[in-house]
Structures are given as structure tokens and as C-alpha cells.
Amino acid sequence: MGEIATSERQITLFYHSKSVRAKQTLAYAKAEGLAILEIDLLKTKLTGTQIIELAERLNINVSELVNQEHSSYKKNFEHHNFSTNDWIKMIKHNPEIMKQPIAIRGDITILVETPSDIIKI
């Protein structure tokens, strides 16, 4: 069992409150009447263990959680092959560069590409 609590009865949504896609996803989920536990990554800091768990649930490397096209990433970092610990530190100190929203329900975890993806879970 991981550090992130999950439930079959509600969707846990990790998102950035400044993200247009996240706002649209939340609006879509609420319109569908889905029970949502909202975790705004700009207000709630993730632990290194939680970041690793999200990557594992998505079957990706921690480095793949980083949106290297985000303006904050481009402004503050250059493309490099960082260690997993370095990627975790980058996400912890710059949560806006993490790909999101990420939705979890029970054992299912998805990276929401379009707002309607939320109903797939």
C-alpha cells in the first residue's frame, strides 16, 4: 500500500489551480456529479515518496512527470539527464512543472489529457 490514500467512491485529483486544463477537468467532473478530492499542487506540497508513487501508478519514470515544455521549466532549467532524486527535487520546488491533472480512483490512475478523460476513471 502506498502513501496516497485512494477510494473507489471518489476521485483524487492532483492538479494546479492555475492550469486551464485542470479547471476544465474539475468543471467537467462536477457537472457529471463525480465525487472529487481536490489536491492543488500549488498549495499542497507532495513528498518525494508521493511523487514516486504517482509515477509508478502511471507506469512512467519520475522524469516523465516533468513537463519540459512548461515556461517555468524552460526558464529555470536546461534539458539534462538528471537523477531521479534531482527530478523529485525539481518537482517539489517547482510544482507547476509537473504534468497534471492526475486522477486516481481505487487502483486506476490516469494523466488527464482532455477534461472528458475524467469519466474514464
> Are 34 and 12 contacting, i.e. CB atoms less than 8 angstroms apart?
no
Q: What is 11-120's CATH topology?
A: Glutaredoxin (3.40.30)
Question: How far is Cα of residue 107 from the mean position of the Cα atoms in its chain?
Answer: 16
**Residue ranges covered by each domain of the chain:** 11-120
List alpha helices for the chain, DSSP H.
20-31, 48-57, 71-76, 84-93
Joined together, the cell numbers standing for residue 54 give: 504517482
How buried is 21 (Cβ within 10 angstroms: 0-12 exposed, 13-18 middle, 19+ buried)?
middle
CB neighbourhood size of 71 (10 A): 10
pTM: 0.92
Residue-wise pLDDT for 27-85, tens only, equals 999 999 999 999 999 999 999 999 999 999 999 999 999 999 888 888 888 777 789 99
